[in-house]
Amino acid sequence: MSTPRGRTFLSLVVASRRALTPNLVRLELEGDGIGDYPKDSAGGYVKLAFDADGRPATDPGGMARVTLRTYTIRSLDTDRQRLSIDFVLHGDGTLHDGPASAFARTARPGDGIRVSGPGSVKSLDPAADWYLIAADMTALPAISAKLTERAALGTPLEGYLVVEVLDEADAACLEIPDGLVLQVVVNPDPARDTDALIDAVRALPWRDGRPFAWCAAEFDRMRAFRNYVRGERGIGLADRYVSSYWMLGRTEEGHKLEKREDAASEVAAADAL
């Protein structure tokens, strides 16, 4: 069904819920229409719809007034019409649950929610000599999907993967290929220590050859990474993908405005070169 926002939403239900790590939960959603998703949509995004009270939106007639939250498709099975999404659970006093993580915390099989998508997938450049990948917990599903994609291709993956997590056990969901050096940065208070990720990235020895830099994380962490690879390492637009998935102290709507302004500044800076 198309809404006044121009989106098409599927009515999905929770098929299963599983705790992956101390702070990650996986929901498997199923429903008619998933079979029409492109088979390579893992790593792309979907929008989850919530009503004004923060509850999962299920009423097709009220879709013009929903709040949307963006999440990565961790895996997709079009034959079974199922997709899985991994959620970071906060609620520890430093970061609070939004509607999506609150939904994931209490979801049970049979619970419904409306979902739109899928969005685009940004793959790792296969022609790069090595990779510099940095992510916080919100990007672990995207990273996992990309590692699964590369493993299926059978191509080597050399370089570094730096992940910032709330608990060391949160990195256990990653399957690291030979050649990719994993560094886990444990930061139980990401609102207080915002430099932990970039400090770890800066400390890495720089390799020879053409790198591809990939980062998805909180807004300020993303900008620090971009400033480093662009300003200090001279990595151009074609050899990097940098995106913020959230912003401390902002809702997704507020983050979207900041992200739009930042993107405009990035384009203006590139045009000035």
Query: Taking the CB of residue 182, how many other CB atoms lie within 10 A of it?
Result: 13
Res 147 pLDDT > 60: yes
How far is 226 from 161, CA to CA, in rounded Å? 16
Give yes or no for a contact between 254 and 247, defined as CB atoms under 8 angstroms apart.
yes
> Which one, of 200, 187, 123, lies nearest residue 160 by Cα?
200
> Which one, of 64, 70, 68, 39, lies nearest residue 56 by Cα?
68
What digits encode the pLDDT tens for the residues 210-250?
999 999 999 999 999 999 999 999 999 999 999 999 988 87
Res 180 pLDDT > 90: yes
> Which one, of 19, 20, 1, lies nearest residue 10 by Cα?
1
Residue type for position 239: D
Res 96 pLDDT > 80: no
Residue ranges of domains in the chain: 9-116, 130-272
Instruction: Give pLDDT, residue 7.
Output: 76
Res 31 pLDDT > 80: yes
Q: What is the 3-state secondary structure (H, E, C) of the chain?
A: CECCCCCEEEEEEEEEEEEEECCEEEEEEECCCHHHCCCCCCCCEEEEEECCCCCECCCHHHHHHCEEEEEECCEEECCCCEEEEEEECCCCCCCCCCHHHHHHHHCCCCCEEEEECCCCCCCCCCCCCEEEEEEEHHHHHHHHHHHHHHHHHCCCCCEEEEEEECCHHHHHHCCCCCCEEEEEEECCCCCCCCCHHHHHHHCCCCCCCCEEEEEEEEHHHHHHHHHHHHHHCCCCHHHEEEEEEECCCCCHHHHHHHHHHHHHHHHHHHHHC
What's the distance, CA 102 to chain centroid? 17
Res 91 pLDDT > 80: no
> What kind of fold does domain 130-272 have according to CATH?
Rossmann fold (3.40.50)
Q: What percent of the chain has pLDDT over 70?
A: 92
Residue type for position 247: M
What digits encode the pLDDT tens for the residues 56-87?
999 888 888 899 999 999 999 999 999 999 99
Q: pLDDT grade, residue 273 (50/70/90)?
A: very low
Res 254 pLDDT > 60: yes
Bin 40: left if φ > 0, else alpha if -120 < ψ < 50, else beta.
alpha
Instruction: Give pLDDT, residue 65.
Output: 86
Mean pLDDT, residues 120-131? 90
> What kind of fold does domain 9-116 have according to CATH?
Elongation Factor Tu (Ef-tu); domain 3 (2.40.30)
From first CA to last CA, the distance across the chain in angstroms is 45
